[in-house]
Amino acid sequence: MIILTPTFSQSSGEKIGRLIGADTQLVEYRVFPNGEVLARINQPESIKGNNVVLYYPTYPDTNNRVIHLLQTLEILGHYNAENITLIIPYLSYCRQDKRFREGESLSLKLLLDILYDMNVDLLISINPHSKETLKKYSKFKVETISLFKPLINKLLSSITEANRDDIIFISPDLGRCKDVKKLAESFGVNHICLEKIRDRDTGEISYKYVDEIKGYRLGLIIDDEISTGGTMALAIKYLNKYDIKYIYTAAIHLLLINNAEKKIFSAGASGIFGTNTVENPFYVIRIEEYIADKLRMIGISN
Ligand code: R5P
């Protein structure tokens, strides 16, 4: 078995390779002056008949990386890889899992269909936007890793402002409510779900009124991702009218587009916590060991 990774994710790819006892090879990432990308593997002969784990973060620069990923899969097909396990930590296009407006593309299904046509056997991803729709649309096997519990454990062990009784977990929208409820139960704290309304034409979001939140010193807003920070900032502003002394935010994927962190801190957050599925300065959990554990658990290791 070999692990392949593009040059831009070399250190994480090599770390996963070391943890599962596999040799790591790099996929060159070249961009031509006209913007086209080109993938190249140095020792293609080593692919033949081998099981390949392809570690491929498709964020940032998503569209170029997706094309480069498809080129890499084309190379693996040409040189007869035996079995392909693709790891995309933050799965691109996951949020477009419905035709929200008439005439839109169902991008997630399109991407999964192409990966299937390119002979991907197994896809591993971390906290996809919706595990259910991901499984519904993929024609190959999918394994997901949830890092909510380790993330919240780490967060709670590093803050001293409150006891469990003083803490409330908050879902910033109904879509995340089930996850937050489960997490609150397993950590023995209360929870509340806010109801976010997003205008599909303008992208603007607002909140529906929820019953008063009383008697909590620390609120933890939990979501799968922070993109522009609009959701977190608005949720914090909404919660500011209640007497919650500290509000923290925790999300698996910290994209933090256009200085989202500034928006979140100026709304009143006491901290941002997340993982390194996407490179960012606020991660407290590194994903490589969790990915290696998952690979070992499903029998993919040397
Ligand atoms: C949406 O359904 C997701 O769970 C997140 O709430 C959303 O992607 C966050 O985006 P932003 O940070 O741009 O508000």
Angle formed at CA 235 by CA 229 and CA 236, multiple of 5 degrees: 90
Q: Of 27, 30, 29, which is closest to residue 52 (Cα–Cα)?
A: 27
Positive or negative torsion for Cα 205, 58, 285, 9: negative
- Model pLDDT, residue 199: 84
Task: Give residue-wise pLDDT tens across range 94-151.
Answer: 999 999 999 999 999 999 999 999 999 999 999 999 999 999 999 999 999 999 999 9
Substitution site in 227, 232, 252 for ligand 1 pocket (most atoms within 8 Å of beta carbon)? 227
Q: Are 219 and 233 in contact (CB under 8 A)?
A: no
Task: Give me the percent of the chain exceeding a pLDDT of 90.
Answer: 90
Question: Ligand 1 atom closest to Cα of 172?
Answer: 6
The set of protein residues with a Cβ atom below 6 angstroms from ligand 1 is 172-173, 175-176, 223-231
Question: Ligand 1 atom closest to Cα of 173?
Answer: 6
Positive or negative torsion for Cα 188, 189, 192, 193: negative
- Distance from the CA of 281 to the center of ligand 1, in angstroms? 19
For helices 148-158 and 177-187, what crossing angle results, to 10°? Answer: 50
pTM over 0.85: yes
